[in-house]
Structure 1
Amino acid sequence: MSVEPMVFSAQSRLLPPLILFGLTFALTLGGILARPIESLSLFWPVNAVLAGVLLRHPRQGSILGVALMYVAMVSADLICGSEWRPALWFNLCNVGAIVTFWRLLAHLPRSHRRLRTPHGVLRVFAACAAGAVVAASLACVMAAPWFDQSLRATWLAWFSEQFSTSVLVLPIMLTAPSLPALVRSGGLPVRLAPLLVLLASLVLSIVFGGPGAIAFPISALLWCALSYSPFMLSLLSLTAGSTLIVAVAQNLMHFSVPQSEPGVTALMSARLGIAMLVLGPLVVACVSNANRALLSRLAHQATIDHLTGALTRSAFARQANALLEGRQQHAQALPLTLMMLDIDYFKAINDRHGHAVGDYVLRQCARALQDQLHDGELFARLGGEEFVIVIPGLAPEQAAFTAERLRRAVQDLQMVQGEVPLRITVSIGVSGCNDSQPIADLDALLADADQALYRAKAHGRNRVEQAQRQVI
């Protein structure tokens, strides 16, 4: 099982319990103040949020952590004027839901728990239903002293509220990215059209009204599922679901919601229907996200050499040709240098030490070369032990210093096989075109660099040779 631990220093061991207590107290206090007087909460996110905290930070999932949450809930209830007996019992119902959510999901594989698979989405929905059943059943045990409704109405009230709220809130907690990942994605463009259509569908649901109006946002949510990440979709689902629940409760959608048992049942039905609307879009978002990740991996494999991290030959050809085409669009063509590099005596290294050592040498050489390059400069592995570098803006006749710097970076590598040091060097052939040559062909540049590399090998290796002719 993959977990995500939260690690604290010895000096701050009391900090996590205090944070957990404070978070629970604040959430409970806010939920109590927001609910109607003498009524169950219309929307109670406390249980789902705390279950998400336990799942994201497993070290807090202990008897002490659960006890602290219970004490914080009871304390908030008593401060708000509740009697101690209902405060003790009904917060025990809340804790029962939290523990059920947590225990059913804690042992899932990380990919399921983070809603990256359709199976994970279904398991989360099942856990939400189970937690709602536990909370509703515990509430009914002691319902008589505090509720005038029948046990059936009480059970339905608790179940529908707990299920709908947890389905809308818990996916946000499970899919929320880490802060560094959220910062990195802050600059990514967001498509506005699906969001605007979702908002329009919510307005239409309220304006049109009637029981069937709660299904109006489903098409927009499916579009959002294809356009956004599961976390973003979870936020939008919470917005849509909570808006519809409030609209139904306030009779803005022309539902008949009197205070009798049938009226309460109608509100339950609306809550459950709204919660179930989220299931389809979440599954679609999960599948869509998995497909995007697969395509990204395939594109990465087609672009990046898995061993060295350099561009593949085909990716290099595409990017180098695009660079040459862009160069010709300038009024005065920019100079460009192409270097071909070959690790000296690489076959002997493989024969003597084995291919595992050969792969290690390739990785270390590639890393040393990449450390010497800047943004916009191309670095690729052509095959075997042969690499190529393209440096825009540098004329070939001025590239001697750069080529020598690359050669020395490899020569200075400290590698040891067993107790035997490995002396690794490269030979480099340089070609290119200066600003007076507006036309450059990649194949011709590569051929000239290859000829220069051949001469470097013939003249003793571990040296740099310039091409003897310029490409025109």
Structure 2
Amino acid sequence: MNVGIHPKQRLPATILLVNTFLLAFLLSLFGIFTRPLGSLSMFWPVNAILLGLMLRKPGYATPVGWAAIYLGMIAADLTTGEGWPLALWLNACNMALIATGYAVMLLLPQSQRRMGKPQAILYMFTACLLGAAVSATLSVLRNDSLFNNTVINAWISWFSEQFSTNLLILPVLLAAPRLKQLLRLQFYWPWRACLPLLALLFSLVFSVYIGGPGAIAFPIPALLWCAVRYHLFTVTLLALITGVTEIVSISANLMMYEPLSSRGAFMDSLMSARLGIAMLVMGPLILSSSIAVNRKLLRRLEHSANHDFLTGAMARSAFTRKAREMLEYKHQSKEAVSLLLIDIDHFKLINDTHGHVIGDHVLSAFSHILRRELRQDQLFGRLGGEEFAIMMPRALGAQALAMGEYLRRRVENADLNPTGKDPLRITISMGVASLAMNEVKSLEQLMNMADIALYRAKSQGRNRVESFNVVSGNSLTHVIFK
């Protein structure tokens, strides 16, 4: 059966074609204009960037996307005066590198291609190694692509440039945060956090000034320090800056230990240095990746220790600790604070009637409703069983009472039956206790006040919100919570 496609549905494919073509064209022009006349490029970032794009955005890795990249590269060569045969061949070599690297990285699960594990670094290393080897082998099969070099020198020159460039650029692209995460980043570095970066910059300047073959290793201790202190993406950026700086310095003959009398000697030293630089930055990348895994594991362990596994609410011990910290801050800043104690009405009856599996689902769904309505600075914890608590900073009694009534209505109107058959609804009773801006009480006193209000709500028929401040005779103005 033939299915008609609306013209508007072809727009994404058209955009994909245009985007990939222009990106390949512009990147190729950059590489062409920065290479010496009559020679291969000393730094060709095109392949690494396009490979990173394919891995980060699998939607581009379609036959149309691959064809657009190849055509964009050819168009750049033809624009700068290259002949058709050589343009087709050299760019076929570039495409072979991208395809080989892409095939190797596909062996990794997609969730691990973001350099989050040391295993991913090794896969990336293999992808760069095999891709550069395949590309270099294809490049020497034509005599007019040797640029007056021997086959061995041409192969090593192509291989070393592609291997080192990909190994420096690809980690940055794979470890980069998504655009939404970048927009949410807040850049605040105290001076102590800048010390590893300053050490790296100093070591780079020192390596250029001292020179010699061993100078390429001068920045490694500082780069290792950065790997310990900074996040993986930052380390990949610093490794890229370090590698490019040293490659440019070597190319400009600033780090050579003696004057070079021949172009061949210069190229041999440059190729050796490029390979050495690429291998040296692997250590900091693997270290940073290992530390990132440990940090993620520690965050998971901390979350598991501080949160209830069923409801996602804070465990009683964690809630008590955070609530005490909030009260201490309140006493210093002279701000109001409110505590809400919540109890699910007749929860035992739900377990007896529907079973504990449904009861667990009710607890989880109830917690999800409340967590979705609370701000990030408001604490939500499970004290035990069907008892929960909310700590609201900068909330007066009237605001807390209105918030409690709003949450009560949200829970009362929610259908919590996971089967979707007969509606299953619950109600909650809530006790509210508030401390004014200049009022000082301990957490135990505040919880006792809220517990008195909760008992009052239960004794008056449940499914209601009561405030201790009202019980003690204080008057509250009615507030409509939005």
**TM-score normalised by length of structure 1:** 0.89
1:343 partner letter = I
Which among 272, 280, 299 is matched to residue 277 of structure 1?
Answer: 280
Shift of 1:249: 1.4
Moved more, 43-52 or 257-266: 257-266
* Structure 2 residue 408 is matched with structure 1 residue 428: no
User: How many angstroms apart in 1 are the aligned matches of 2:438 and 2:129?
Assistant: 73
Shift of 1:311: 2.5
- Give 1:113's aligned residue: 113
Structure 1 residues 394 and 229: CA distance shift in structure 2, 3 A: closer
* Segment of structure 1 superposing worse, 299-308 or 135-144: 299-308
C-alpha separation in 2, matches of 1:307 and 1:414: 19
Deviation of 1:394 after TM superposition, in Å, equals 5.1
Cα distance in 1 for residues equivalent to 2:338 and 2:70: 69
For 1:347-370, what per-residue CA distance to the aligned partner results, in whole angstroms no more than 9, with x for missing partners? 111121122322332233334444
> Matches of 1:199 and 1:436 in 2, distance apart?
51
Residue identity matched to 2:361 = Y
Structure 1 segment 371-410 matched on structure 2, within 5 A: 373=374, 376-393=377-394, 401-410=402-411
Q: Aligned letter for 1:322?
A: E
Q: 1:461 offset after TM fit, Å?
A: 2.3
Q: Which moved more, 1:419-428 or 1:198-207?
A: 419-428
Query: Does the 8 Å contact 2:139/2:145 carry over to 1?
Result: no
Aligned to 2:225: 223
Separation of aligned partners in 2, 1:415 and 1:112: 36
Q: Identify the residue that residue 462 of structure 1 maps to in structure 2.
A: 463
**1:76-135, Cα deviation, whole Å (9 max, x unpaired):** 112212233322222222121111111111231124322111111011111111111112
Name the counterpart of 1:361: 362
CA distance in 2, matches of 1:321, 1:174: 42
How many Å apart are 1:183 and its aligned residue?
A: 0.9
Tell me, in whole angstroms, the C-alpha distance in 1 between the residues paired with 2:122 and 2:103.
16
Corresponding position of 1:174: 174
Q: Which residue matches 1:312?
A: 315
Provide the residue aligned with 2:478 in structure 1.
none
Q: Is the 8 A contact 2:40 2:147 kept in 1?
A: no
Match of 2:185 in 1: 185
Q: Could you say what secondary structure the match of 2:143 adopts? A: coil
- For the residue of structure 2 that corresponds to 1:329, the secondary structure is helix
For the Cα contact (< 8 Å) 2:408–2:428, is it kept in 1?
yes
CA–CA distance in 1 between the matches of 2:460 and 2:401?
17
Establish whether residue 345 from structure 1 lines up as the match of residue 353 from structure 2. Answer: no
Give secondary structure in 2 for the equivalent of 1:420. coil
For 2:124 and 2:420, the matched residues in 1 are separated by 52
Q: List runs of 5+ in structure 1 lacking aligned partners.
A: 1-7
Q: Equivalent residue of 1:390, what SS?
A: strand
Deviates more, 1:170-179 or 1:397-406: 397-406
Equivalent residues in 2 for 1:126-165, closer than 5 Å: 126-143=126-143, 146-165=146-165
Structure 2 residue identity aligned to 1:315: A
CA distance in 1, matches of 2:399, 2:249: 72
- Of 316-325 and 363-372, more deviation after overlay is shown by 363-372
- Seen in structure 2, the aligned counterparts of structure 1 residues 184 and 304 have a Cα distance that, compared at 3 Å, is farther
Q: Partners in 1 of 2:270 and 2:394 — Cα distance?
A: 69
The answer (yes or no) to whether the contact 1:257–1:266 under 8 Å persists in 2 is no
Match of 2:234 in 1: 232
Report SS of the residue matched to 1:421: coil
Contact kept? 1:149, 1:261, Cα under 8 Å: no
Are residues 309 and 44 of structure 1, via their aligned partners in 2, closer, same or farther at CA, if it must alter by over 3 Å? same
Residue 477 of structure 2 corresponds to which residue in structure 1?
none
For residues 181-204 of structure 1, give each alpha carbon's deviation from its aligned partner in whole angstroms, at most 9, with x where no partner exists.
Answer: 111124454832222211111110
Report the equivalent of 2:3.
none
Report how far residue 232 of structure 1 moved: 1.8
Amino acid in structure 2 at the alignment position of 1:390: M
**Alignment CA distance shift 1:17-1:257 (3 Å):** farther
| C-alpha RMSD of the superposition | 2.6
Counterpart Cα distance in 1 of 2:289 and 2:11: 40
| Larger deviation, residues 163-172 vs 84-93 | 84-93
Partner residue of 1:261 out of 261, 264, 268 = 264
Q: How does 1:57-136 map to 2 (within 5 A)?
A: 57-136=57-136
8 Å CA contact 2:430–2:466 kept in 1: the answer is: yes
Cα distance in structure 1, aligned partners of 2:140 and 2:87:
15
Report percent identity of matched pairs: 45
- CA distance in structure 1 between the partners assigned to 2:287 and 2:262 by the alignment: 38
Aligned to 1:297: 300
| 2:126 alignment partner AA | A
SS in 2 for 1:59: helix
Aligned partner of 1:31 in structure 2 is: 31
Distance 1:110 1:126 in 2: 17
Deviations 1:22-80 (A, max 9, x none): 11111111110111111211100111111112212223323443333222222211221
Q: Which runs of 5+ in 2 are unaligned?
A: 1-7, 474-482
- Check the 8 A contact 1:143/1:154 in 2, yes or no: no
Determine the C-alpha separation between the residues in 2 that align with 1:343 and 1:300: 25
Change (3 A) 1:300 1:150: same
Give the Cα–Cα distance (whole angstroms) in 1 for the partners of residues 197 and 330 of structure 2: 40
Partner AA of 1:251 in structure 2: N
The CA deviation string for residues 365-394 of structure 1, in whole angstroms up to 9 with x for no partner, is: 334444555564433211111012234455
- What is the DSSP-based 3-state SS (H/G/I as helix, E as strand, rest coil) of the residue aligned with 1:276? helix
Letter in 2 for 1:388: A
Q: Distance in 1 between matches of 2:456 and 2:378?
A: 25
Q: Which moved more, 1:95-104 or 1:67-76?
A: 67-76
Q: How high is the TM-score relative to the length of structure 2?
A: 0.87
1:173 to 1:404, Cα distance in 2 relative to 1, 3 A: closer
| Inter-partner Cα distance in structure 2 for 1:60 and 1:371 | 35
Matches for 1:243-262 after TM superposition, within 5 Å: 243-255=245-257, 256-262=259-265
Letter in 2 for 1:275: A
Query: How many matched pairs?
Result: 460
| Structure 1 residues 225 and 421: alpha-carbon distance in aligned structure 2, compared to 1, 3 A threshold | same
Q: Which amino acid aligns with 2:11?
A: Q
User: Does the Cα contact within 8 Å between 1:339 and 1:389 map onto a contact in 2?
Assistant: yes
The 8 Å contact of residues 111 and 120 in structure 1, kept in 2 or not, is answered as no
